[in-house]
Amino acid sequence: MNENLHTLRCFGCGARIAGQEASPDFRCAQCGDLFEVEYAGWGQRQGHNRPNPGALKWLWRERRCSSEALDQSGVWRFRELLPILDNFGNAVSLHEGNTPLYKLQRAAKALGIDQLFAKHQGMNPTGSFKDTGMTAALSVARERGFAWVACASTGNTSAAMAAYAARAGLRSLVLIPEGKIAWGKLSQAMDYGAVTCQLKSDFDGCVRVLTQIVKESPIYLLNSVNPYRLEGQKTPAFEIAEAFDWTVPDHLIVPGGNLANSSALGKGFKELLELGLVARMPRISVIQARGANPLARSFAENNGERMEPVEAHTRATAIRIGNPASWRKAARTIKETGGWCLDVSEAEIAVAKAELGTEGLGCEPASAVTLAGLKKLRAQGKVAGGETVVLLLTGHTLKDADYTINFHRGTLLGDDETAGHEPEIAALQRNAVVVDATPAAVLATLNGLSG
Ligand code: F0G
């Protein structure tokens, strides 16, 4: 069961290659599409490669009490379902995963939904869901003997890559769009020792430059076109299923940027189903920011068959992506699971983020699109009150403190954007006040509130 059994299967033409044969940009030599990791024998009902569901559930739970570093990772705890390394001793881990699943009470009440949860992937070591994918793909880079790794990023991938590279003793190169990423993320890449290049371009431009670089130099590409990233990013599906005692929620709602994460989670649930660990799949819906909504447009116009890139603009900089690489994979996940793809406005994102804040749950603006999207789905009658819904929160609130402060100060959004949302925004804003350093002045502030 621990043998490295995987092959790479092209998502477009179905061609199969060995892991070592992938080109530096992870595109299929036949058709140019992306690869998925595939494991021999899992689809068959019998066969010596097929894991035993009951034994796995027991083993994974036991590992939660283990003091072994690999067992303490919420990714490698499930290593039987990601046999991508020849030797698990090569795994580079920062104890990622095992993130909390919080019950949302206020939002559930407001929306008339009984069971509403947030799986907070911002509670990972570098503050975003990228850690689960990075531990997997960077371990492959180390096993294959690369000295350099690289990514183009809106910030979180670069923070995660730089941290894991530092742990492994590898050098890392980061390409980010100048002025378009949150300071928290840039500071992380610097602190973890990455060579950080701010390009006078957007995320899509950074991807174009890096794709050329990896073709010309022995640098391992760690963007989410790298199929091993998705093997790590599928593991929150296992954690969610485990948390619900191997039933699955009715609906999982995920933010969409470069569109890899939604399909990684879909792959995770699909493998659980194929292996007999769960009996069904959740619906998976993807929510984009209105200014960076190529997939939402594609679903509205042609049911996700074709996608036109857009010039992306949103303050949710993590998902400011106009030409998402993995859109076909995401479209398949949405269609296979009966989910939807919607977009939400800048004001809807800001309000949803502040509402999550009132429940004691901070997150990045890109994560808050999930609650904003759920409100729309509920209003459209696509989510019933009796359903169990999980929102995937992808990033920690401190990644982008400027956004939050600007919201509370009333300097985040323009009048054209707040139109129609003024009362809910005013009710959520909590600006800090400057007062004299006396008890009387502070108490006067409190009296002012109640009055
Ligand atoms: N949420 C956050 C906080 C992100 O950082 C990203 C992507 C997404 C959602 C979207 O996930 O791309 O799989 O659809 N951030 C990337 C980066 C692009 O470079 O950090 P996706």
Answer yes or no: is the C-beta of 257 below 6 A from any ligand 1 atom. yes
Distances (CA, A) of 61 to 64, 78, 126: 5, 10, 25
Dist. CA 41 → ligand 1 center (Å): 32
| Distance from residue 320's CA to the centre of ligand 1 (Å) | 9
- Whose CA is closest to atom 6 on ligand 1? 318
Mutational test site, ligand 1, from 123, 261, 321, 364, max ligand atoms within 8 Å of CB: 261
For residue 399, the ligand 1 atom closest to its alpha carbon is 3
Ligand 1 within 6 A of CB of 189: no
Q: Quote the ligand 1 centre to 44 CA distance (angstroms).
A: 34
Atom from ligand 1 closest to the CA of residue 256: 14
Q: Which of 130, 134, 231, 327 to mutate to test the pocket of ligand 1 (most atoms within 8 A of CB)?
A: 130
Q: Is the CB of 395 under 6 A from ligand 1?
A: yes
Query: Is there an atom of ligand 1 within 6 Å of 260 CB?
Result: yes
User: Could you identify the atom of ligand 1 that is nearest to the CA of residue 154?
Assistant: 19
In testing the pocket of ligand 1, which one of 223, 258, 341 has its CB within 8 Å of the most ligand atoms? 258
Atom of ligand 1 nearest to the CA of 259: 14
CA–CA dist 63, 175 (Å, integer) = 37
Please tell me the predicted confidence (pLDDT) of residue 41: 76
The answer, yes or no, to whether any atom of ligand 1 lies below 6 A from the CB of 224, is yes
Ligand 1 site, residue 156, Cβ cutoff 6 A: yes
> To 5 degrees, how large is the angle CA 22–CA 94–CA 170?
50
392 CA from centroid of ligand 1 (Å): 12
Nearest one of 311, 303, 107, 144 to 228, comparing CA atoms: 144
Query: For ligand 1, what atom is nearest to the CA of residue 257?
Result: 14
User: Which of 319, 349, 371, 393 most suits a substitution to test ligand 1, by most atoms within 8 Å of the C-beta?
Assistant: 319
**Predicted local confidence at residue 1, as pLDDT:** 41
- How many CB atoms are located within 10 Å of the residue 268 CB? 24
Given this model, what pLDDT does residue 42 score?
A: 78
Q: Name the closest-CA residue to atom 4, ligand 1.
A: 318
Q: Helix 401-409 vs helix 346-358: angle between axes, to the nearest 10 degrees?
A: 100
Q: Which residue CA neighbors atom 10 of ligand 1 most closely?
A: 257
Please tell me if the CB atom of residue 155 comes closer than 6 angstroms to any atom of ligand 1.
Answer: yes
Are 391 and 116 in contact by the 8 Å Cβ rule? The answer is yes
Q: Is the CB of 154 under 6 A from ligand 1?
A: yes
Ligand 1 pocket residue status of 256, Cβ below 6 Å: yes
Q: What is the rounded CA–CA span in Å between residue 124 and residue 132?
A: 8
In this prediction, residue 40 carries a pLDDT of 84
Ranges of residues in the chain whose predicted pLDDT is under 70: 1-4, 43-49, 450-451
Cβ–ligand 1 contact at 255 (below 6 Å): yes
